[in-house]
A and B are shown apart, each in its own frame.
Chain A
Amino acid sequence: AQKITQTQPGMFVQEKEAVTLDCTYDTSDQSYGLFWYKQPSSGEMIFLIYQGSYDEQNATEGRYSLNFQKARKSANLVISASQLGDSAMYFCAMREGRTGTASKLTFGTGTRLQVTL
């Protein structure tokens, strides 16, 4: 089974609107971290936001927020007031914390977001 599933290969959003990028995950660990990265057309990977499995509040970083629903195993990224510069590929990732194993980061297949005028 896929550990990280991003079901939206591509999304469009109008400038200044909000958009939600979906991410579901699969783990049997109690301790894990969820991350979102942005990859613009220039290719670099930019860390956006982090949510811990024990965090009771949703993480926020500026215009980015993470809608964390633990029972549903979902960690959707919400971008408010979209800007043209938000056009990029977005990856959801998980770091599991099983005792005795190295904590690797597993990525989803990504969602390409296009912001339009």
Chain B
Amino acid sequence: NAGVTQTPKFQVLKTGQSMTLQCAQDMNHEYMSWYRQDPGMGLRLIHYSVGAGITDQGEVPNGYNVSRSTTEDFPLRLLSAAPSQTSVYFCASSYTTRTDSPLHFGNGTRLTVT
């Protein structure tokens, strides 16, 4: 059981470049989300999805796009990378959107924008 799989683990981009962070889960989870982690700021929600075809913005959505065409996949797209997007990115999913449903995390992607 792979759980939540994120790729790549590391990425370096130049300012203005675009890229997609991949996230896949094999647990038939309804809810998927993307967070960024920056020192001293905890984890901040970028975008989330409550099912295939349904996405919504989180706390810090600017500069990022998402789509959810299947239950399993939830890619995060950086449209035009900026140094402020240097961060560690986590994909996380849960079985339901109920308040008792914990998030399961991928191992993270460390992104550096120069």
Check B74 for interface membership: any CB of A closer than 8 A. no
Q: Among the listed stretches A13-21, A76-84, A106-114, which one makes contact with chain B, having 4 or more residues with CB under 8 Å of it?
A: A106-114
Partner of A35, one of B48, B98, B102: B102
Q: When the two chains form their complex, are residues B97 and A109 in contact, meaning their CB atoms are under 8 A apart?
A: no
Q: Which residues of B contact A53 (CB under 8 A)?
A: 99
Q: Does B45 contact A (CB under 8 A)?
A: yes
Number of inter-chain CB pairs below 8 Å? 68
Are B100 and A52 in touch, CB under 8 angstroms?
yes
Q: Which residues on the B side are within 8 Å of A108 (C-beta)?
A: 42
Interface flag for A68 (CB, 8 Å) = no
B50, chain A: closest CB distance, angstroms: 5
Residue of B nearest to A2 (CB): B42
Determine which of B45, B99, B108 lies in contact with A33 in the assembled complex, contact meaning CB atoms within 8 Å.
Answer: B99
Nearest neighbor of B41 in chain A, beta-carbon distance: A109
- Tell whether A62 is near chain B: CB-to-CB under 8 Å: no
Query: How far in angstroms is the closest Cβ of chain A from B21?
Result: 15
Q: Which of A16-73 contact B (CB under 8 A)?
A: 31-33, 35, 37, 43-45, 47, 50, 52-53
Q: Give the chain A neighbours of B105 by CB distance below 8 A.
A: 37, 44-45
Shortest distance between the CB of A5 and any CB in chain B (Å)? 10
By beta carbon, the residue of chain A nearest B107 is A44
Q: Given A4-B42, A9-B40, list of 4 further CB < 8 A pairs?
A: A33-B99, A47-B104, A53-B99, A104-B58
In order of increasing CB-CB distance, the 6 nearest A-B pairs are: A45-B105, A33-B99, A97-B99, A109-B42, A107-B43, A103-B97
